[in-house]
Amino acid sequence: MKCILPHRIIKTVSFFGLMVLICLSCAGRKYAANVSDGIEKSNSIIFLNYKVKKRADGKIEIEHLNHLVREGRLKKRFDGAGQEGDLEVVQLDKDHRLLSRMLIKNPLRKTLEFADESKGLQTKTLNLDEATFSVRMQLHPETKQISIKPFSEDKSLIQTKINQE
């Protein structure tokens, strides 16, 4: 008697694994949601890359990986409401005055969509301990630093100095 069950399991696991990888690779581009309109005449876009980690005590730690400034203007602005776990990115001038801000959806929570065995669409939310995320925003000409803080708190997790010259 021939057993086809292991073959079917391998096929299903392979398909699910492929879907997870595809969703994770594309999901990093859906985070930015602009919540403030503070830039009038900037011709620069800043791209920032960060790594976020959840420590054993539950606190979040953010590490700046790199940033790049290029000429250009962003075409779309998004409005969104913040939730617990989201991050707020703010541009500050030399006197620490707010120039603009935007919201980053929780980078440690990924939502995946995949097809199950019956070809129905399923959604699964993964809570990660570590992830990288990117920020793309219009760079205000007077920006001297970019600060990231939890949406529901006032204390900054990281401040990145920006040298515009």
Domain ranges for the chain: 5-161
Query: Between 1.10.287, 3.30.1490, 3.40.50, 2.60.40, what CATH number should domain 5-161 receive?
Result: 2.60.40
Is the separation of the CB atoms in 112 and 124 below 8 Å?
yes
Residue 22: both structure tokens together: 């595809």
| Pairwise CA distance, residues 150 & 103, whole Å | 10
Kindly give the confidence (pLDDT) of every residue in the chain, 165 residues in length, as a single tens digit, with 9 standing for 90 and above: 555 555 565 566 555 555 555 555 544 434 444 444 445 567 899 999 999 999 999 899 999 999 999 999 988 766 578 888 899 999 999 999 999 999 999 999 999 998 988 989 999 999 999 999 999 999 999 999 999 999 888 899 999 999 876
What kind and span of H or E run contains 33? strand 32-34
